[in-house]
Chains A and B, each alone.
Chain A
Amino acid sequence: GAVVSQHPSRVICKSGTSVKIECRSLDFQATTMFWYRQFPKKSLMLMATSNEGSKATYEQGVEKDKFLINHASLTLSTLTVTSAHPEDSSFYICSARVSGRGTEAFFGQGTRLTVV
Chain B
Amino acid sequence: LAKTTQPISMDSYEGQEVNITCSHNNIATNDYITWYQQFPSQGPRFIIQGYKTKVTNEVASLFIPADRKSSTLSLPRVSLSDTAVYYCLVGFSGNTGKLIFGQGTTLQVKP
Contact = CB atoms under 8 A, between A and B. Distances in A.
A46 B99 contact: yes
A51 B43 CA distance: 20
Contacts of B29: none
Nearest to A92: B43
Interface residues of A, number: 28
B70 to A, nearest CB: 17
Interface residues of B, number: 23
A60 interface: no
Contact of B104 (A6, A43, A110): A43
B102 A105 contact: no
Nearest to A107: B43
Interface stretch (A68-76, A77-85, A96-104): A96-104
Interface string B18-54: 0000000000000011100000011111100100000
Contacts of A25: none
A102 B42 contact: no
Contact of B96 (A6, A32, A103): A32
B43 A103 contact: no
Q: Which of B42, B49, B98 has the most CB of A within 10 A?
A: B98
Given A43-B87, A43-B101, A43-B103, A107 B45 contact: yes
B42 A105 contact: no
5 contacts: A57-B96, A95-B44, A95-B99, A105-B34, A107-B44
Interface of A: 1, 4, 6, 32, 34, 36, 43-46, 49, 51, 57, 91, 93-95, 97, 102-110, 112
